[in-house]
Structure 1
Amino acid sequence: MSKTTAGRFFEDYHVGQVIEHAVPRTVGAGERALYHALYPARHALYSSDAFARACGLAASPLDDLIAFHTVFGKTVPDISLNALANLGYAEGRWLAPVWPGDTLRSVSEVIGLKQNSNGKSGVVWVRTQGANQHGQPVLDYVRWVMVRKRDADAPAPETCIPNLASALDAEELIVPEGLDFSAYDFALAGEPHRWGDYAVGEVIDHVDGVTIEEAEHMMATRLWQNTAKVHFDATARENGRLIYGGHVISMARALSFNGLANAQMIVGLNGGAHANPCHAGDTVRAWSEVLDRAETAAPGVGALRLRLVATKGGAAGVLKGEDGRYLPEVLLDLDYWALIPM
């Protein structure tokens, strides 16, 4: 009996299948230090215990995207080990802060399947939930991924495409218990701009760029225990190793500090697309568009719905061509909700 596995292929999934992902992960200050070394991340709430306490929290939680990458990484051996591409996200919610010392685990349910017309691959939709050591959910989201077939002649499953919300309503967002921005220190946060200073339709060029390095990508992907072959094996794709899409997300989010320093916490993921592949040597830049604004019940806390776009060149505010397709320089199109002082 073989002791090894080649991972799941498209024909191994069925709608309703529940997959408990292996290897729970305890996260701590080391993850924060590495995250802030890999990305120019400097939002104050995730950098300073004192700042977080002044905002009503017990201490500084781990960055919201540390939670995302850790929960996501647990799923890779079961969902996307044989993936051709990670296609998109929807209905993502951060449900509770992740603190240093928490242990995270993940479980996914297959909610959709569609074989591609070439018969060699198909799209798998999964809803994933991450929970801490107390069984408390900290994050859930839907993603869909294109997965190879083991046998091109295997029969196609019945097509089932889930009906997903185009965006979360602001009422669905979970504000961490105790969060209070009524005495928010704008000087320490780094910028004076508050909720009312942002207008729907406004485009913000985040100015700076970072060139993606092979070594940093490899370190980041291993940090999240992401085992997808396309990120490590240069022979798995014709054009070499593919940069993990989450690496691009974190880079763009960190770059967005310049102009959105007070958009402290990501609490909702409405949708996202990895529009074009990213490779080592690409220089990532970012811009954001304000899509919506909402108030919350928490004192001094507002919410902004933002479109975050990562590019390897091109003008801010330009996303698609006349044909409706993403321009080749666009790497990421991410739609999310963030909490900001009012």
Structure 2
Amino acid sequence: MDMEKCRSGNYFEDFRVGMKIRHATPRTLTEGDRSLYIGLTGSRAALCTAETNARDLGMERRPLEDLLVFNTAFGKTVPDISLNAVANLGYAEVRFLAHVYPGDTLAVESEVIGLKENTSGKSGVVYVRSMARNQHGREVLSWVRWVMVHKRDHGAACAEAVVPATQAVVPSAWMRRDDYTARVREITAMTGFADLWDDYAVGERIEHPGAMTINDSDHSIATRLYQNTARAHFDGHAMAAGGGRRLVYGGHIISVCRALSYDGLENALSILAINGGSHVNPTYAGDTIACATQVIEKLDLGQGHLGGLRLRMIGVKNVSAASIAFPAPGESRTAHPSSVVLDLDYTIAIPRR
């Protein structure tokens, strides 16, 4: 008897609001994953760089980089959610709920919370809420994203549109804050820079001096590291047949910009939340990425030794960070020029003096 074993992924008309998906397969992260992540991004985060740093800052051992965890968990959702994507459009309510350490195993589940067919009838937007848990069942990461997905049959009938409401900013009450002690103030001795929460001002602009050119090997290896099998990143033949080129995975651009932003934010401890983000324009191999950051808000987390900084980071391609103009709050991303590839609103934990 013939059996259908073609794994073609879900198309827009296959999704239903309320649909729950347990993604294959759980993934154990290791020190090898960390080393490869540093090799691809140049990450220098003090807490994640050395075991001695982590112990001196009051932790038993050093956690993995937040965005390594995010991109790995995100990759688990791709075969079910975005294998047939046109593009990933945005994020909201991304919450880093607990540190992840080498040897931890991540399992990811998603629920479809919204659907909206595009007027062309050729694709639609799928909204999902995803959750990653470790081997003990503890929630370590949750997020909402929306992605444009092709339709298999352009004439297929689709359900009435449902666009979910999401928080514009993750409330500080939702953020973890109990895994840092007053010893985190010692981070200045490791980085050699004295700037802490107290030294940043709302509206302050930080131009990060570095830039990084994305090679074909960089973004190819990155998507494999995250087991992100989206055709737009993997399949150059299919992209060329459609008149395009392979796209650099947007999560890799976030990671690169985060690594570049170390200069000026040296004493950041971890990402607490991503409030929202857009991949404004595509990135391709050969593009050079730079970024700048603006301080949007200073958050009192209710602890004398720890504060939060809400930041807006804009990444650009093939121009300098000095060219970046920060749109006014609430201004549409269409206000950005074609050189802008990332507009990310996120919140970090940083020691207070």
- TM (norm. structure 2) is 0.94
Aligned pairs for 1:176-325 within 5 A: 176-181=178-183, 183-237=185-239, 238-312=243-317, 313-314=319-320, 315-319=322-326, 324-325=334-335
CA distance in 1, matches of 2:137, 2:323: 42
Q: Match of 2:142?
A: 140
More helix per residue: 2
Number of residue pairs aligned between Structure 1 and Structure 2: 342
| Shift in Å, 1:121 | 0.1
**Gap change, CA 1:292 and 1:268, over 3 Å in 2:** same
Aligned pairs for 1:25-104 within 5 A: 25-104=27-106
2:54 aligns to what SS in structure 1?
helix
CA offset digits 1:15-43 (Å, max 9, x no partner): 00000000110001011101111111111
CA distance in 1, matches of 2:15, 2:120: 18
| Shift in Å, 1:168 | 1.1
Q: Which amino acid aligns with 1:127?
A: R
Q: Do the aligned residues in 1 keep the contact of 2:213 with 2:288 (CA within 8 Å)?
A: yes
CA offset digits 1:81-118 (Å, max 9, x no partner): 00000000001100110011000010000000000000
CA distance in 2, matches of 1:316, 1:53: 40
1:307 aligns to what SS in structure 2?
strand
| Shift in Å, 1:171 | 2.1
Q: Do the aligned residues in 1 keep the contact of 2:34 with 2:65 (CA within 8 Å)?
A: yes
CA offset digits 1:293-322 (Å, max 9, x no partner): 112234511110011111012535414599
CA distance in 2, matches of 1:109, 1:53: 38
| Shift in Å, 1:190 | 3.6
Q: Which amino acid aligns with 2:54?
A: A
Q: Do the aligned residues in 1 keep the contact of 2:185 with 2:351 (CA within 8 Å)?
A: no
Q: Do the aligned residues in 2 keep the contact of 1:181 with 1:301 (CA within 8 Å)?
A: no
Q: Which amino acid aligns with 1:37?
A: G
Fraction of identical pairs, as percent: 48
| Shift in Å, 1:180 | 3.4
Q: Provide structure 1 residue ranges, at least 5 long, that are not aligned to the other structure.
A: none
CA distance in 1, matches of 2:209, 2:52: 29
CA distance in 2, matches of 1:251, 1:176: 28
**Gap change, CA 1:236 and 1:320, over 3 Å in 2:** farther
Q: Do the aligned residues in 2 keep the contact of 1:319 with 1:327 (CA within 8 Å)?
A: no
CA distance in 1, matches of 2:163, 2:313: 26
- TM (norm. structure 1) is 0.96
Q: Do the aligned residues in 2 keep the contact of 1:43 with 1:189 (CA within 8 Å)?
A: no
2:33 aligns to what SS in structure 1?
helix
Q: Does 1:332 align with 2:342?
A: yes
**Gap change, CA 1:71 and 1:202, over 3 Å in 2:** same
Counterpart pick for 2:133 among 126, 131, 134:
131
Q: Do the aligned residues in 2 keep the contact of 1:182 with 1:299 (CA within 8 Å)?
A: no
Q: Provide structure 2 residue ranges, at least 5 long, that are not aligned to the other structure.
A: none
Alignment RMSD (CA, Å) = 1.6
2:130 aligns to what SS in structure 1?
strand
